Amino acid sequence: MSIKTVAILALTTALSFGGSLSLGGSVVSDNQKVLTSRNMGYVKQMLVSEGDFVKKGQLLYVIDSTENNSAEQMNRNQLENIQLNLARHERLYKKGMVSRYDVENLRLAAKNQKEMLRISTTQDNYLRVKAPNDGIVIAKKINQGELASPGMPALILTDLSRLRIQVEISESNLRQIKLGQSVVVNIPSAKLKTTGTISSIIPASNPMTHKFTIKVKFDKGQALIYPGMYAKVNITI
């Protein structure tokens, strides 16, 4: 029997009995949010620091409301002036001294100004930025006294209840796995060994490594697991 034949038989035997694939990756959160401000203004209060655990609805930071208060007062004053002018025109209209067209225009102006006042009033809600969910602050990009701008990252909040393990798998092994497949998870630093399932297979390979990303959902129990921890995933193939 030739060496080539022996090698083919050995490979066939190994495949028939199956094997296991060991992959290294890291813990990530499937619900990480970058919090920004909808209004421009200086940070009046920054109430959290990196590493703080926060609850849903907890106040995180406050934007100075001086400019918004000025806009609100200006809209309120303009509405009062329009309403006074409207009342005067309605009295004059009854006496036939002004046209219906003028009265209707003032009524429309009053309606539009009420909407402007409503918008400026509701802006106060956006000056107090609150946590959208429970989580941990993993990054703080702005401090008290600094200028916050719309779209500029202020805080990064990670949800620890939605942890996953992210690993890369070669394209040659991709066909050997499937969604919902059970795997063994090992996080050495937390001394955690548990089971998990493949929850995502992202169908886009890294052009440099020709590897695909998969995510694994796992049961962490009472272990303290944080994003960034090294993890191993063993998959039976």
pLDDT single digits (tens) 97-150:
889 898 899 899 888 888 877 776 666 677 889 999 999 999 999 999 998 888
Closest-CA residue to 160 (of 180, 135, 127)? 135
Percent pLDDT > 90 in the chain is 49
pLDDT the model gives residue 133? 94
Q: How far apart are CA 128 and CA 37, in angstroms?
A: 9
Q: Is the pLDDT confidence value at 12 over 50?
A: no
Q: Mean pLDDT, the chain, as a whole number?
A: 85
Q: For residue 8, what pLDDT is reported?
A: 36
3-state DSSP assignment of residue 73: helix
Which pLDDT score, from 0 to 100, does residue 5 have? 39
Which tens digit of pLDDT belongs to each residue from 186-233? 999 999 999 999 999 998 877 888 899 999 999 988 899 999 999 999
Q: 3-class SS at 34?
A: strand
Are the beta carbons of 133 and 157 closer than 8 angstroms?
Answer: yes
Q: Supply the pLDDT for residue 71.
A: 67
CATH (residue range 66-126): 1.10.287
CATH of 17-30+161-236, one of 3.65.10.10, 3.40.30.10, 2.40.30.170, 3.40.50.720: 2.40.30.170
- What are the C-alpha distances in Å from 209 to residues 28, 171, 198? 21, 10, 21
- CATH topology match: 17-30+161-236 vs 66-126: no
- In this structure, how many other beta carbons lie within 10 angstroms of the beta carbon of residue 190? 16
The domain spans of the chain are 17-30+161-236, 66-126
In 3D space, the residue among 51, 44, 13 whose CA is nearest the CA of residue 227 turns out to be 51
